[in-house]
Amino acid sequence: MAAVARRRIAGTLAHRAAILLYILVALFPLFWLLKVSVTPNPLLYSEGVRLWPSQTSFEHFAFVIRNSDFPLFFRNSLIVSLSTAVIVTIIAAGAGYAMSRFSFRGKLWLVGLLLVTQMFPLVMLIAPIFRMLTPLGLTNSLTGLVIVYSAFNVPFAVFLMQSFFDAIPKDLDDAAMIDGASRFQAFRQIIVPLTLPGMAATLGFVFTAAWSELLFALMLISRADASTFPVGLLSFVSKFGVNFGQMMAAGVLALIPALLFFLLIQRFLVQGLTAGAVKG
């Protein structure tokens, strides 16, 4: 008995240690970001490699907020990411519900088509998309970015939402419709409240994808007033060198909205809301 117990404890310890190791590796770059952002410029190259500088300052933050275009980039990024997330989630909720509940002609083809869109490297699509958006006046515009991001994120989000709807018993729709609800009322009043965790996950996923997208932002936007933050970040790379301190400070600031966003939706990410719907 004692041997078994000891083995179990050893197993648990190894398990925890592995997780800890993973977290350390995953978070180290973030730590480095934070560390460099609070290191005063003179110390950056003079102190060698240290885990924490001997002196910290917030001068980089102050500079980025007061003297750079970063507040503008932030605002742009926020507009683009939020709009994309909301639009994609609404479309994906509707499409995912349809895919989950209805059988219709050409459904298999539609699924195949959605999958095919996920197969090509995005780089291939830059030129055609640029050509299409230019005559429409959608380059150098946040609207253009929102459209492109939405188009790229919808297929995956549809599959994601479909899997959340699939997890909810069809009997609930049926019960609601028998109770006197239309199909849409059943969707809105019964199914949507139960899929909030899934919607939150989709929202978060799309938001972060749009928030950190660089390639298309770089290609489609050339004016500073329409730049998103990843593009703006590159402005710290100049001919004469890289201003690491300011760049990292901007990076830390860029983390804040994503963090806040997840803090807001984490309540919905907690699963188990559907427990008790039907006897399992």
Partner 1 sequence: MATIDLEAVAKSFGPVHVLEPVDLQIRSGEFVVLVGPSGCGKSTLLRMIAGLEEASSGDIRIAGERVNEVPPKDRNIAMVFQSYALYPHMTVAQNMSYSLKLRKTAKERIAEAVKGAAETLGLSKLTERRPRALSGGQRQRVAMGRAIVRRPQAFLFDEPLSNLDARLREQMRAEIKKLHARLGATSIYVTHDQIEAMTLADRIVALDAGKIQQIGTPLDLYQRPANRFVAGFIGSPAMNFVSGTYRAAAAGRPVHLQADHAALPVPDLDRPDGHAVTVGIRPEHVLVEPGDAPGTIGCGVELVEPTGMGTIVHLRLGDVALKAYRPGYTEWTAGQRVHVRLPREHMHIFDEASGARIEPAGSGRSPGLSEWPAATKLD
Least distance (Å) between residue 169 CB and partner 1: 6
Establish if 185 lies at the interface with partner 1 (CB under 8 A): yes
| C-alpha distances out from residue 91 to 23, 87, 105, 157, 206, Å | 34, 6, 20, 9, 12
Least distance (Å) between residue 114 CB and partner 1: 24
Residues 191-220 that bind partner 1 (CB under 8 A): 193-194
Establish if 169 lies at the interface with partner 1 (CB under 8 A): yes
Establish if 121 lies at the interface with partner 1 (CB under 8 A): no
Establish if 106 lies at the interface with partner 1 (CB under 8 A): no
Give the Cα separation of 252 and 234 in Å (integer). 15
**Residue from 171, 224, 256, 266 that binds partner 1 (CB under 8 A)?**
171
Establish if 166 lies at the interface with partner 1 (CB under 8 A): no
96's CB contacts (< 8 A; 6+ apart) are 157, 158, 159, 160, 161, 162, 163, 164, 165
The per-type count for the chain, helices as H runs and strands as E runs, is 13, 2
Nearer to partner 1, 43 or 277 (CB): 277
Establish if 135 lies at the interface with partner 1 (CB under 8 A): no
Establish if 188 lies at the interface with partner 1 (CB under 8 A): no
Phi and psi angles of residue 57, each rounded to the nearest 5 degrees, phi first = -150, 160
Establish if 273 lies at the interface with partner 1 (CB under 8 A): yes
Least distance (Å) between residue 80 CB and partner 1: 33
Whether the Cβ atoms of residue 228 and residue 145 lie closer than 8 Å to each other: yes
Taking contact as CB under 8 A, which single stretch among the options 17-25, 34-42, 148-156, 180-188 is the one that binds partner 1?
180-188
Whether the Cβ atoms of residue 53 and residue 73 lie closer than 8 Å to each other: no
Least distance (Å) between residue 269 CB and partner 1: 16
Whether the Cβ atoms of residue 198 and residue 123 lie closer than 8 Å to each other: no
